[in-house]
């Protein structure tokens, strides 16, 4: 799907809404309102998978630790390596924060 088809005015408004949030608690409250619990857990799992892939973990270990399917791990790997660099930005910034 092309970026133009995804980046609708509604998506732009959602992006602006996220950018306005200032604390993890604000983000959490917003996520609870706009996502199902399952969607939040799925996103959290994907981030955990991305961090483990970035750390060089093997698929079997990632599957054991996160419960993610091999399909999810492959998809996250593809995004991490060939995607829009969203995972990369977050992983790098989380690393910077940990170093503070």
Structural domains present in the chain: 1-34 (no CATH), 36-100 (1.10.1270.10)
Asked whether residue 100 carries a pLDDT value surpassing 90, the answer given is no
Q: What is the pTM of this model?
A: 0.89
CB pairs under 8 A, 24+ apart, for 89-98? 90/47, 90/50, 91/50, 91/51, 91/54, 94/51
Over residues 38-69, the pLDDT tens digits come to 999 999 999 999 999 999 999 999 999 999 99
């Amino acid at each position: 799907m092309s970026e133009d088809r995804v980046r609708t005015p509604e998506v732009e408004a959602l992006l602006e809404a996220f950018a306005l949030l200032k604390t993890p608690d604000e983000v959490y409250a917003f996520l609870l309102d706009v996502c199902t619990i399952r969607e939040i857990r799925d996103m959290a799992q994907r981030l955990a998978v991305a961090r483990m892939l970035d750390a060089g973990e093997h698929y079997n270990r990632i599957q054991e630790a996160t419960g993610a399917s091999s399909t999810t791990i492959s998809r996250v790997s593809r995004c991490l390596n060939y995607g829009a660099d969203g995972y990369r930005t977050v992983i790098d910034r989380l690393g910077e924060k940990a170093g503070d």
